[in-house]
Amino acid sequence: MRAKAKSTQHYRRLRELAALAASDRRRQLRRTNEAVEALERVSSGSYGVCRECSRRIPAARLRAKPEATRCLECQLEHERNRAA
């Protein structure tokens, strides 16, 4: 009984670790895709241009988030719309 309880705990812990690893992999994959897409925008000449308003994304924002596709104002608006 005690051994079964322990193995159940271990199983639960392993499931938690697997879920964390999967979430980490998804985050890494998303960041990799964002970086590749940013490099493609560099190649096509559209890097640093906001996809919503077509204005230049300020250099400070690109330094902080080089893969940004929107200026800060458009990004905040985008997130507000997604949350709604």
Specify the residue, 15 or 77, whose C-beta has the smaller distance to Zn ion.
77
CB 63, CB 50: distance < 8 Å: no
Specify the residue, 38 or 74, whose C-beta has the smaller distance to Zn ion.
74
CB 25, CB 18: distance < 8 Å: no
CA distance 4 to 19: 22
Q: Least distance in Å: CB of 77 to Zn ion?
A: 8
Specify the residue, 34 or 58, whose C-beta has the smaller distance to Zn ion.
58
Q: Least distance in Å: CB of 38 to Zn ion?
A: 16
Contacts to Zn ion by CB under 5 A: 50, 52-53, 71, 74
CB 51, CB 45: distance < 8 Å: no
Query: Beta-carbon neighbour count of residue 40 at 10 Å?
Result: 11
Q: Least distance in Å: CB of 83 to Zn ion?
A: 18
